[in-house]
């Protein structure tokens, strides 16, 4: 379970499949960040990629001697920009790779725009997330909550990013979520819907103990990370593991998982709505190093420093939630 390697292999395969010759890598704002986290420019130059361009750039020159490797998120904006590009192609051949599932209607629109037959192939490569380190990923999203509910657009983006992680790691997990969080429940349901809809993509080799996707909500732990990176004890992990504050511990029972009657999962993806922290990432690194047979990947809507965490707390309306509690009821930082 190595998210950096997964994305790096996708990029390498794109370049290899385009064959020998000079190439341009055509990306959007998000895929530019995705690629730059796993490859340096000098490393890609060694693979005959001599030019890096944004598809939304309006001043690109026509270079018919170059092959274009297009790595784009399958958004409406990117599809429309690519349609315009194919109607007046600036490069000799196009190898098109989308970072997530693209609709059949969009494929049809692209095919109709390719009147000059410059598209060599179109594929889906599921590198739709930021690989921070081998065991940590981020979606670079902030302000996901509107009060106690999801921002609908960011729920969709989070679902896409999280399912891309699962596809890139070749995991079809059982899904467990924090029972006290409506946002965690909605994300779990949304991911489940995608897995059901795209069941052929998730038809991986079954293991005796299925992998686990555990979805947690940072809004139940709004203060603890500022005071001390306390990580609760969860039978997920057998010892200290990533999750909520000690006063709102996520147990297997709360998340719908019975312990110890069910086998211990070996491959675990922990996703934190509202973002993880680098100290939690260090905890996961130590767990992976000291727990034979257990592989954990930590992800979040973002990875916080102190400034970004305070901004997220303010945006999520945590202060209003605290004020709504009955008088005299407080949440302690330790038990």
Whether 160 and 175 map to the same domain: the answer is yes
- Quick check: is 332 in a domain? no
Residues whose CB falls within 8 Å of the CB of residue 67, separated by 6 or more in sequence, listed in order = 18, 19, 21, 22, 23, 24, 91, 92, 93, 94, 95
Distance between CA atoms of residues 271 and 222, nearest Å: 16
Q: Say if CB 23 and CB 66 are below 8 A apart.
A: yes
Whether 134 and 86 map to the same domain: the answer is no
Single out the residue in 79, 95, 124 at which a domain terminates: 124
Alpha-helix runs per DSSP H in the chain: 3-17, 29-36, 41-45, 76-87, 104-113, 152-168, 182-197, 224-227, 278-290, 306-316, 318-324
pLDDT exceeds cutoff 70 at 207: yes
pLDDT of amino acid 149:
87
Domain range for residue 34?
3-124
Backbone angles phi, psi at 214, to 5 degrees: -115, 120
Which CATH number covers residue 19? Answer: 3.40.50.2060
Nearest to 14 by CA among 26, 1, 28, 29: 26
- Quick check: is 207 in a domain? yes
Single out the residue in 68, 102, 124 at which a domain terminates: 124
Whether 105 and 218 map to the same domain: the answer is no
Whether 254 and 147 map to the same domain: the answer is yes
Tell me the CA distances in angstroms from 290 to 99, 214, 264, 283, 296, one per residue in order: 33, 20, 16, 11, 12
Before 49, cis peptide (omega within 30)?
no
Q: Can you list the positions of beta strands (E) in 117-258?
A: 119-124, 130-133, 136-138, 145-146, 149-150, 174-177, 212-217
Which of 58-67, 144-153, 179-188 shows the lowest per-residue confidence on average (mean pLDDT)? Answer: 144-153
72 or 251: which leads in pLDDT:
72
SS percent in the chain: helix, strand, coil, step 5: 35, 20, 40
* HSE, side-chain direction, 13 A CA sphere, residue 84: 10
* Average pLDDT estimate for 65-78: 95
Whether 48 and 143 map to the same domain: the answer is no
* Average pLDDT estimate for 168-182: 90
Residue 102 DSSP SS3: coil
Q: Say if CB 10 and CB 167 are below 8 A apart.
A: no
- Quick check: is 49 in a domain? yes
Whether 164 and 29 map to the same domain: the answer is no
Q: Say if CB 66 and CB 51 are below 8 A apart.
A: yes
* Average pLDDT estimate for 238-255: 34
Average pLDDT, the chain: 82
Q: How many domains does the chain have?
A: 2
Percent of the chain whose predicted confidence (pLDDT) is above 70: 80
- Quick check: is 335 in a domain? no
pLDDT exceeds cutoff 50 at 328: no
pLDDT exceeds cutoff 90 at 81: yes
Whether 262 and 205 map to the same domain: the answer is yes
Whether 76 and 112 map to the same domain: the answer is yes
245 or 26: which leads in pLDDT:
26
DSSP symbol at 88: S
Q: What is the total residue count of the chain?
A: 335
pLDDT exceeds cutoff 50 at 265: yes
Percent of the chain whose predicted confidence (pLDDT) is above 90: 57
Tell me the CA distances in angstroms from 299 to 67, 262, 270, 304, one per residue in order: 34, 24, 6, 11
- Quick check: is 333 in a domain? no
pLDDT band at 118 (very low <50, low <70, confident <90, very high): very high
Q: Does the model's pTM come out above 0.85?
A: no
Q: Say if CB 113 and CB 140 are below 8 A apart.
A: no
Whether 145 and 278 map to the same domain: the answer is yes
DSSP tally for the chain: helices H, then strands E: 11, 15
pLDDT exceeds cutoff 80 at 228: no
Single out the residue in 124, 154, 175 at which a domain terminates: 124
pLDDT exceeds cutoff 70 at 176: yes
pLDDT of amino acid 246:
31
- Quick check: is 219 in a domain? yes
Distance between CA atoms of residues 197 and 54, nearest Å: 32
Whether 80 and 101 map to the same domain: the answer is yes
- Quick check: is 329 in a domain? no
List the beta bridge partners of residue 303: 276
Q: Report pLDDT digits (tens) over 14-57.
A: 999 999 999 999 999 999 999 999 998 888 888 899 999 999 99
Whether 41 and 57 map to the same domain: the answer is yes
Which CATH number covers residue 216? Answer: 3.40.50.1910
- Quick check: is 42 in a domain? yes
Q: For the chain, what is the largest distance between any 2 Cα atoms, rounded to a whole number of angstroms?
A: 72
Alpha-helix runs per DSSP H in 138-229: 152-168, 182-197, 224-227
Whether 62 and 189 map to the same domain: the answer is no
């Amino acid at each position: 379970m190595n998210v950096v390697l997964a994305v790096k292999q996708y990029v390498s395969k794109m370049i290899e499949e385009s064959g020998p010759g000079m190439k341009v890598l055509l990306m959007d704002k998000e895929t530019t960040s995705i690629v730059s986290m796993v490859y340096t420019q000098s490393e890609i130059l060694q693979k005959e990629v001599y030019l890096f361009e944004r598809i939304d750039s309006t001043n690109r020159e026509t270079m018919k001697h170059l092959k274009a490797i297009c790595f784009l998120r399958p958004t409406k904006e990117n599809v429309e920009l690519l349609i315009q590009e194919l109607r007046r192609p600036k490069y000799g051949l196009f190898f098109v790779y989308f970072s997530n599932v693209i609709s059949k209607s969009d494929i049809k629109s692209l095919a109709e725009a390719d009147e000059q037959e410059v598209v060599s192939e179109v594929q889906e490569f599921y590198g739709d997330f930021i690989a921070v380190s081998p065991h940590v990923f981020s979606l670079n999203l902030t302000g996901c909550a509107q009060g106690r509910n999801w921002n609908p657009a960011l729920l969709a983006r989070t679902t896409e990013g999280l399912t891309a992680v699962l596809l890139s790691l070749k995991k079809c997990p059982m899904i467990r979520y924090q029972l006290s969080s409506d946002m965690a429940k909605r994300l779990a349901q949304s991911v489940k819907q995608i897995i059901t809809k795209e069941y052929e993509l998730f038809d991986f080799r079954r293991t005796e103990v299925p992998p686990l996707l555990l979805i947690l909500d940072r809004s139940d732990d709004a203060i603890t990370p500022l005071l001390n990176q306390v990580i609760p004890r969860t039978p997920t992990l057998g010892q200290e593991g990533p999750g909520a504050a000690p006063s709102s511990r996520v147990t297997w029972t709360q998340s719908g998982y019975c312990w110890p009657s069910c086998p211990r999962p070996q491959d675990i993806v922990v996703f934190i709505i509202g973002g993880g922290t680098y100290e939690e990432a260090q905890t996961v690194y130590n767990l992976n190093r000291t727990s034979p047979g257990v592989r954990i990947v930590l992800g979040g809507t973002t990875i916080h420093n102190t400034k970004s965490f305070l901004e997220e707390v303010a945006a999520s309306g945590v202060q209003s939630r605290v004020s709504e509690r009955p008088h005299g009821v407080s949440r302690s930082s330790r038990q």
